[in-house]
Chains A and B, each alone.
Chain A
Amino acid sequence: MQLRTLIERILQLIPVLLGISIIVFAMITLTPGDPVEIMLGDQISTPEQEAALRRDMGLDLPVHERFFRFLSNALVGDFGNSFFHRRPVSDLILERLPATIELTLVAMLIAIGTAVPLGVVAAVKKGTLIDRIATVASIFGVSLPGFWFGLLLIMLFAVHWHILPVAGRIGYDFEVPKVTYLLLIDTILAGRLDSFLDALGHLILPAVTLGLPMGAILMRVTRTSMLEVLDQDYIAFAAAKGLGRMRILIRHALTNALIPTVTVAALETGSLLGGNMIVETIFGWPGLGRLVVEAIFSRNYPIIQTAVLLYAVTYVLLNFAADIVYTLLNPRVKL
């Protein structure tokens, strides 16, 4: 891919992101209830105080100036203060973000790491017992509700067998210096195997729960596209060249079969953002998803709005990433 087309694609993102911020701004503006009243809550205040607060928050300005202010603030990461925490929203979100990123990344790794090999094996051994088991498993994976599966895992592994902790991110007795804020990495950097294993133990159940539906879908996609690719002339031609079976399967077939898988994976990662809220709540995972759920229950609009903005932007960027990877894998497509 040429640098120029890449830059063009990045420039194309700008109107999309602008559109998103307009929608989020409209949400803020159109939300019923006077922000000043909500913010002041039960406190007794004079009309002068209220007016001062209004001026402070820029609520007395015309709407386009307010949008401009919102946009420039958002660009430097200023999303205002949370109603109840009385702290900047950005601080609250940044505090929770690493846990969510870690959970999501590991869920993705688990999903892709099991789905792709399983999909390939199911396609190569089409119609055999392995293929049937994989098919049934993926149907379960797609259709089981995440909260039910999560609770089942907790009951089995934590309550019944006592192998894994019920909730949380790491045990209280473990303290490691924060470098990347991703515990799995920080514990390794600190050279603490025991902390690493503890963090991993906390992570594994929520990550599996979160990754299951994505893995199930990716497995189906990989199997289907692999079957299609294996039927292509270029696979037979690769065999006619005298290449070995493994080389044909991995290099010639999988490279092409992964194109739809990667695209779907990027899109499915977007849906992990939604899954996070459920999984984090069940497993008491101190991430963004739980923060948002709490904010929804307490009508903490600044947090909800910022999270919506963040989710939407992430989703757009994931789509962009899917496009780029699709192009890199598929030379026929010109951006």
Chain B
Amino acid sequence: MTEAQMLKVRGLRTTFRTRHGAIKAVDGVDLDIGYGECLGVVGESGSGKSVAFASIMGLVRPPGRIEAGSIMFEDRELTTLDPREMQRLRGKEIAMTFQDALTALNPAFTVGNQIAETIITHDKSDGSKRDRIRRARARAVEMMTLVGIPDASRRVNDYPHQFSGGMRQRIMIAIALACRPKLLIADEPTTALDVTIQAQVLDLIAEIRATLGMSVVIITHDLGVVAEHCHRVLVMYAGQVVETGPTENVVAEPRHPYTSGLLRSIPRLNDRNARILPIKGTVPEPINLPDECRFRPRCPMSADGCRVPIAMRKIGHDREARCIFAGDEP
């Protein structure tokens, strides 16, 4: 791709050194996110999605560590950025929402307090402290209205446990968006919600992306969500990217058997005859994995050629897949 990218990640490796050995949670991930783009990241539980984006946010905690790779955000290399600079960037330029809003919001403070806190932290303008607090609180109400919380000026003083799951997710989005970040990483924004609320939250994210013109990453288990909302998709498996490309192409014609498997496992409401076929087996824990295709043990197409490390293969100008059966030249 030739256009300028907002985020360029190359060869990212994040490892947790535990007593049982090194867990290579993220093992050589490349990814690009363009301006105004929505990227979907899919993969089963344990495939390394959260750790990959926690690494980008600089939020990996011991025993985890970024061992290799480069994370270029606009013109800054995040892996070597001064911790204080990194702290300024978090929440201000790159913001993140977590999988479970109930546990991600602090139970001891009102939601208004938690929204305003982010705003005040990143507010570098002059003015008295009282002024800034007053402005931040007004903005907290604005943000709550923006994410569709009715009666925001009253509910701003409520505690997280007083909201429903969907409303809590919206509040977390309000916190993430409070400083108008350039990039929003939404880690499974809908997993904890029921179907109708899921659609509302996703529509909200799409709407805000359009109005604020930011880039968005949606991490999810659900290729259906990606198909509906994301320009491009990145499929992860056992710490690696196994397929990437424009969503319509990948969904219409997956080139990695894992992607095909994920597609077959989406329930389709409009096609009652189609059977849901879950992929057999589970994601291996990325610890002491043999040097071969990581999907081989579960793959219906596995062959002798799969017993060596497989590199990403280019498919056309904008797609790649990590499979010996993919690629333009055999």
The answer to whether B90 and A234 have CB atoms under 8 Å apart is no
The verdict on A332 contacting B106 (CB below 8 Å), with A240-B57, A242-B118 known, is no
B211 contact set on A, CB distance < 8 A: none
Q: Are A331 and B121 in contact (CB under 8 A)?
A: no
Report how far A234 CA is from B118 CA in the complex, Å: 13
Which residues of chain B are near A233, meaning CB under 8 Å? 98, 100, 103-104
- Asked whether A329 lies within 8 Å of B59 as measured between CB atoms, the reply is no
Residue on A nearest B120 in the bound complex, by CB: A243
CA–CA, A239 and B92, complex, Å: 12
Interface residues of B in 54-86 (CB under 8 A from A): 54, 57, 59, 61
What does the 1/0 interface line of B81-105 toward A look like (CB < 8 Å)? Answer: 0000001111110011010100111
Rounded to whole Å, the gap between the CB of A130 and the closest CB of chain B is 17
Considering the chains assembled together, what is the distance between the CA atoms of A232 and B59 in angstroms?
13
Q: Determine how close the nearest CB of chain A comes to the CB of B64; give it in whole angstroms.
A: 12
- A282 vs chain B, min Cβ distance (A): 41
Total of A-B residue pairs, C-beta within 8 Å: 71
Residues of A within 8 Å of B91, CB to CB, are 240-243
Contact of A332 among B100, B107, B118 (CB under 8 A): B107
- Whether B161 and A242, one on each chain, are in contact in the complex, defined by CB atoms closer than 8 angstroms, is no
B132 within 8 A of A: no
- A32 on the interface (CB 8 Å rule)? no
Among A241, A247, A256, A331, the one with the most B-chain Cβ atoms within 10 Å of its Cβ is: A241
Q: Which of A239, A241, A244, A247 contacts B175 (CB 8 A)?
A: A241
User: Once the chains bind, are A243 and B117 in contact (CB under 8 Å)?
Assistant: yes
Closest beta carbon of chain B to A140's beta carbon, Å: 30
A234 to B92, CA, bound (A): 18
Residue-wise interface mask of A (235-257) relative to B, using a CB-CB cutoff of 8 A (1 in contact, 0 not): 01111111110010000100110
Contacts of A252 in B (CB 8 A): 106
Q: In the complex, how many angstroms separate the beta carbon of B167 from the nearest chain A beta carbon? A: 16
**In chain B, what residue has the closest Cβ to A238?**
B106
Looking at chain A's contact residues, the main secondary structure is helix
Of listed B88, B104, B122, B172, residue having the most chain A CB within 10 A: B104
> In the complex, what residues of A have CB within 8 A of residue B163's CB?
none
Q: Are B103 and A234 in contact (CB under 8 A)?
A: yes
Complex alpha-carbon distance, A135 and B61, angstroms: 24
A37 CB → nearest B CB, Å? 60
Is A331 in contact with B161, judged by CB distance below 8 angstroms? yes
Interface residue range, chain A? 20 to 34
CB distance from B165 to the nearest CB of A (A): 14
By size class, the interface of chain B is 20 to 34
- Indicate whether B195 reaches chain A with its CB closer than 8 angstroms: no
- Chain A residue numbers with a CB within 8 Å of B325 are none
CA distance A252 to B172 in the complex (A): 16
B269 interfacial by beta-carbon distance below 8 Å: no
Contact between B59 and A240 (Cβ–Cβ < 8 Å)? yes
Chain A residue contacts of B159, Cβ below 8 A: 331-332
In the bound complex, do residue A236 and residue B122 qualify as a contact, i.e. CB atoms below 8 Å apart?
A: no
Determine the chain A residues whose CB is within 8 A of the CB of B172 once the complex forms. 237
Considering the chains assembled together, what is the distance between the CA atoms of A8 and B44 in angstroms? 51
Q: Is A330 interfacial (CB-CB < 8 Å)?
A: yes
- Which residues of B in the span 155-206 have a Cβ within 8 Å of any Cβ on A? 159, 161, 172, 175
Q: Which chain B residues lie closer than 8 Å to A329 at the CB level?
A: 108
User: Roughly how many angstroms separate A242 CA and B57 CA in the complex, as a whole number?
Assistant: 10
- B106's nearest neighbour on chain A, judged by CB, is A234
CB nearest neighbor in B for A232: B103
Closest to A332 in B: B161
B107 touches A242 (CB 8 A): no
Chain A residues lying within 8 Å of B109, measured Cβ to Cβ, are: 255
How many Å from the CB of B50 to the closest CB on chain A? 10
- Chain B residues 306-323 with CB under 8 Å of chain A are none
Contacts of B59 in A (CB 8 A): 236, 239-240
Residues of B within 8 A of A332 (CB): 107, 159, 161
- Annotate A293-335 by CB proximity to B: 1 below 8 A, 0 otherwise: 0000000000000000000000000000000000001111000
A230–B131 alpha-carbon span in the complex (Å): 32
State the CA gap A247–B87 with chains docked (Å): 12
Report A237 CB to chain B, min CB distance, Å.
4
**Chain A nearest Cβ from B113, distance in angstroms:** 10
Nearest 8 A/B pairs, CB to CB: A242-B91, A233-B103, A242-B90, A241-B91, A237-B104, A234-B106, A233-B104, A331-B159
- With contacts A239-B90, A240-B59, A241-B175 known, what are 9 further pairs, Cβ within 8 A? A236-B61, A237-B98, A237-B105, A238-B106, A240-B98, A241-B118, A242-B90, A331-B159, A332-B107
